[in-house]
Amino acid sequence: MTKTDLGTSLRSFFEHHLVLQRGLSENTVLAYRDAWKLLLQFACEHHRKRCTDLTLEDLAADTVRRFLDYLEAKRNNSVQTRNNRLAAIHAFFNYFATTDPRHLAHSESILAVPFKRQAARVPEYMEREEVRAIFGAIKTQSPLGQRDDALLRLLYNTGMRAHELVSLNVDHVRFSRPCYVRIFGKGKRERTCPLWVETIHAIKAYLEQRSVRPGDITPLFVNGEGNRLTRFGVRYIVAHRVAEAAEKCPSLLTRKVTPHTWRHTTAMHLLQSNVDLAMIRSWLGHASIETTNSYVEIDLDMKKKMLQSCEKLLPQKRRQGVSWQRDQDLLSWLSKL
């Protein structure tokens, strides 16, 4: 394969296959782009070539394995990040194998590079008292306080992802009964989530101070300069409000609370309120019910620990009857059977 063919195939992969054929989201395409930028930079240094001189042979399975080791050893990437980069590489060679059968064997050698196993992480979530402490610490008299109060209430109400939150416009919210928000999730899947009265009131108060009317086609949440809020802005708001609440709720200091922590919190609180699993799956926009089931396992483990801690408080009853282990006559009789 010539260097021109490699460039042409990569361009077709990003511009036509990912966007037009698979319809992947912008965030996914950008993640794939970053993975390939890193791989090409590594291959240039490894083979001592310019990027424009790289060929398919320079991207052999051994180079990919060295690249993955480099991500962990030099860039200190986690196993999950390493696997995400590999997924982007696999995606290209899956596509490439179908467009040019001459290089099927080469593509198969890349696809044979395995993902690295990683320990399943227990989702971190907040207790109800901690959530109350965060909202209690927000001063809603100020414009920023109103914005952050509305934002966090919407996060807690819906359990939506950060990128889903920042992509919302005002017209995605229905303010008349039944109140709900239209959310555009992964794979451009749309779902609706009902909104509590408190959430609607908080959003209305925030929009009023911005002189924005319900139904306007404008970003729902904006930064101090009036531009659409970013995922990094949401992360900063969460960290800032948690730090404020930690002064009166020290248990928050033991947690690393991110926007995704609010998502886990919503799932656990719905589960603990006996909401049906199918409803929770629809509420959060899980593609697989297995993802929702993981919260059940966490909840059962915690209930088991609570029962064990209570069990220690109960007085132990003495067992009645003869201890047959010490009854020599019984043991002798059994040995003769």
Q: Is 286 a catalytic residue?
A: yes
Q: Where are the alpha helices (DSSP H) in 74-196?
A: 79-99, 104-111, 128-137, 143-158, 162-166
Q: Which of 82, 147, 161, 264 is catalytic?
A: 161
- Residue 129 three-state SS: helix
Q: Which of 90, 147, 241, 286 is catalytic?
A: 286
Q: Which of 65, 66, 182, 260 is catalytic?
A: 260
Q: List residues bridging with 192 in a β-sheet.
A: 182
Q: Which of 17, 82, 90, 263 is catalytic?
A: 263
Q: Using alpha carbons, list the distances in angstroms from residue 102 to 8, 11, 57, 64.
A: 16, 19, 13, 20
Distance separating alpha carbons of residues 180 and 163, to the nearest angstrom: 18
Q: Is 85 a catalytic residue?
A: no
Q: Which of 3, 186, 191, 228 is catalytic?
A: 186
Distance separating alpha carbons of residues 321 and 33, to the nearest angstrom: 73
Q: Is 263 a catalytic residue?
A: yes
Distance separating alpha carbons of residues 171 and 163, to the nearest angstrom: 17
Full DSSP string of 19-53: IIIS---HHHHHHHHHHHHHHHHHHHHHHT--GGG
Q: List residues bridging with 38 in a β-sheet.
A: none
Which of 229, 231, 238, 235 is closest to 210 using CA atoms?
229
Q: What is the DSSP letter of 314?
A: S
Q: Which residue has the tokens 């001592």?
A: 48
User: Is residue 280 a contact partner of residue 270, using CB atoms and an 8 Å limit?
Assistant: yes
Distance separating alpha carbons of residues 275 and 47, to the nearest angstrom: 56
Distance separating alpha carbons of residues 65 and 110, to the nearest angstrom: 9
Q: Using alpha carbons, list the distances in angstroms from residue 266 to 78, 99, 149, 159, 272.
A: 26, 44, 16, 5, 10
* Burial 146-157, CB ≥16 within 10 A → b, else e: bbbbbbbbbbbb
Catalytic residues: 161, 186, 260, 263, 286, 295
